[in-house]
Chain A
């Protein structure tokens, strides 16, 4: 299957700072990227869907001014957590898709964010 990477794999930051997480599709062009958040022992909750070159579509309850998503190219999407707070500590996972069948949404390895 296709490969999706995320960077960093783990980040610790102080409350009030901003953190940027990168998601890259390494061997295919991703027309759509998804950002998920996963709390311990919980399932993946979709935060937003982004299509290359357009504004992201956020799920209900997700603050778009707090979680800034940029999908500037067909291989890169970034999620910036602005003014992070301890409650933002979570596991953030991206997935990338190129318009094939439903099961061809490939997931990154995730980023563990800890806000002190």
Chain B
């Protein structure tokens, strides 16, 4: 079993839709949970981060972590064509940036105008 599982999609939605992206993980030591957005042929950029369980909202984006189920989600409201990208979940055990991140496979999202 891989440490982090993420459905690669592709996921195609109409503009304005609510998008739900998810990851599951097996390592209960993970404490920090991040979502990155990666445009084609570019490096990942941080969208959201959450420590331990709970919700976090930032504009149209909401990140949820359920440590009991080892399940994390990213919701995008009022999706826009500019949201079309690959979304990667990532996790970290120790909480420090000097420690490695474990990534999911990424979900390719297309938002159609």
Cβ–Cβ contact A102 & B101, under 8 A: yes
B96-A99 in contact (CB<8A): yes
Instruction: Give every chain B residue within 8 A of A99 (Cβ-Cβ).
Output: 96-98
Partner of A34, one of B41, B45, B100: B100
In the bound assembly, the distance between CA atoms of A105 and B103 in angstroms comes to 13
B96's partner among A44, A91, A102, A109 (CB-CB below 8 A) is: A102
Indicate with 1 or 0, residue by residue over A84-107, a CB within 8 angstroms of chain B CB atoms: 000000010101011111111111
Residues of A in contact (CB 8 Å), total 31
Alpha-carbon distance A32/B100, docked complex (angstroms): 10
Closest to A97 in B: B97
- Return the chain B residue nearest A48 by Cβ: B100
Size category, B interface: 20 to 34
Complex CA gap A97/B34 in Å reads 15
Contact assessment for A107 and B32 in the assembled complex, using a CB-CB cutoff below 8 Å = no
* Residues of chain A contacted by B44 (CB below 8 angstroms): 44, 93, 107
Known interface pairs A101-B32, A102-B32, A102-B34; A110-B42 also in contact (CB < 8 Å): yes
Binds A, one of B14-22, B72-80, B87-95: B87-95
With a cutoff of 8 Å between Cβ atoms, the chain A residues found around residue B95 in the complex are 101-102
Q: A43-B103, A44-B88 are in contact. Are A101 and B96 (CB under 8 A)?
A: yes
Which residues from chain B sit less than 8 Å from chain A, CB to CB? 6, 8, 31-32, 34, 36, 41-46, 49, 88, 92, 94-101, 103-106, 108
